Homo-oligomer: A and B are copies of this chain.
Amino acid sequence: MQEWLTEHLTKLNLVDEMNYDTGFTRLSYSEEEKQAHETFRHIALSLGLEVHQDEAGNQWATWKVDDKVPTVAVGSHVDTVRSGGGYDGVAGVLAGLASIKLLKDRDFIPSKNITVICFASEESARFGVSTIGSKALTGLLEDNLAEVKDSDGVSVREALESYGLTWENLPNAELRADELESFLELHIEQGTQIEDHGADIGVVRGVACPIRLQVTFSGMANHTGTTPMDKRSDAFVASAPLIPFVEEEAKKMNEDAPLPLVATVSTVQLSPNVMNVIPGEVTLGIDIRSVEDELKIELAKRIKSFCEEIERERSVTVTIKTLVDNDSVFLDPNIQETLANVAKQLDYKPLAMDSGAGHDVMNMATRWPSGLIFIPCQEGISHHPKEYASIEDLEKGTRMIAEYLRIETGDEHENNNWRNRTA
């Protein structure tokens, strides 16, 4: 199994050997994403699966029983950020395929269809829009998506057409609720909670979706050399206290809160941002996340009050725009229970945890009972060439999925047979 994982990890990353220096760049709907999808199809065919691509570019590799039985899905994505790692997304696709191989090697006979989905365009690195493939499946695509452009001015519509898809057919990718029974994703943790708790596997309860605020401070631009210190309305100076405030307030709230909250001032635009002009306008972007939506709302309120204070004390105006306010997504309790039991059965220590990052599963969970498995990644480093997950952990993830699929798709007789054989 480890040999197979090692070989196909490099294949899905389109290389002969993993690299941890320059990383991998397979942006949304790029030629590189397409090549990785093509590799996925080849591997799936070699495993005897039926493959097809849907109208959003998602690849489906199906172990088909017949059209009358339900379909259980697993999967993730193979696109990356710029100079990203070789595990974010790939780990889930690889473990999904490997679990099929494991079941087939054991002569398992499923009583339901099993499908591995390789989602298109999960990362927001190219267009600022994430999880396009799984949004298409669940009818969650943004209204203005066609015209959203990358930094070269190429729109999503144009990128999709270059990819060989037809923009007008995109809505046809949406599936009815009865077309799948459930969905399970495996992903690298992109944090260190599993390691910190001495666990092997994370079983995710909820995905923390963000509140994102855009806070604009308007002062008065003027010449840095000719404007005396007591005649200024410097928007950057006025905005500065908000930057540590967000960090400090989030830390304070974590002292009493039942669930963690994270908050970051992660972007800034300064106008005009030239050496000889006092900043006239500053826009800060704030990302607030918690599975506990009330905590996000409370921090957003405190930020608003703090900005009103700044407005009273300094000669600036402050406007706050809510860019995103998505309720957190809770995953299926039955699947969590199954996964925890599977882990124990395999002698892996599971950790019930939340996901601070978004994944395709958060869209899938709006339509189907869904689950998310995390495997550890070294030092929590992700979206970086040094991103790394061990083959041992990839194998544990694979065995988790295989056992889960066996339970979900086997009939009693088969289950018992196999359990006896593997015991």
Which residues in A have some Cβ–Cβ distance to B below 8 Å?
Answer: 124-125, 189-192, 208, 210, 212, 221-232, 234, 236-237, 240-241, 243-244, 247, 250-251, 254, 260-268, 270, 273-279, 285, 287, 289, 355-358, 380-384
Which chain B residues border A225 with CB–CB below 8 Å? 208, 210, 262, 287, 289, 355-358
Q: How many protomers of this protein does the assembly include?
A: 2
| CB-based contact B357/A190 at 8 Å | no
A-B contact list, 6 entries, CB within 8 Å: A226-B382, A229-B250, A232-B247, A234-B264, A237-B243, A241-B244
**What distance in Å separates the Cβ of A137 from its nearest Cβ neighbour in chain B?**
22
The reply to whether B229 and A251 form a contact with Cβ atoms under 8 Å apart is: yes
Indicate if the CB atoms of B279 and A224 lie closer than 8 Å: no
Chain B residues whose CB sits within 8 angstroms of the CB of A260 once the complex forms: 228-229
User: Which of A225, A240, A265, A267 lies at the interface centre, i.e. has the most chain B CB atoms within 10 A of its CB?
Assistant: A225
| Contacts A223-B383, A264-B278 supplied; 19 other A-B pairs, CB < 8 Å | A191-B223, A191-B227, A210-B276, A224-B262, A224-B287, A226-B357, A226-B382, A227-B262, A228-B262, A229-B254, A231-B380, A232-B247, A234-B264, A236-B268, A240-B240, A266-B278, A267-B274, A267-B275, A268-B270
Contact B266 A212 (CB under 8 A): no
Task: Kindly list chain B residues whose C-beta atoms are within 8 Å of the C-beta of A262.
Answer: 224-225, 227-229
Q: Is the CB of A267 within 8 A of B270?
A: yes
Residue of B nearest to A324 (CB): B275
Task: Verify A266–B251 contact, CB threshold 8 A.
Answer: no
Whether B380 contacts A227 by the Cβ 8 Å rule is: yes
How close is A82's CB to chain B, nearest CB, in angstroms?
Answer: 9
Are B275 and A223 in contact, CB atoms less than 8 angstroms apart? no
Closest residue on chain B to residue A278 by CB atoms: B264
For A358, list chain B residues within 8 Å (CB).
225
CB of A360, distance to nearest CB on chain B (Å): 15
With the chains together, A355 CA to B289 CA distance in Å?
A: 49
Cβ 8 A contact of A247, one of B237, B243, B289: B237
Are A226's CB and B189's CB within 8 A?
Answer: yes
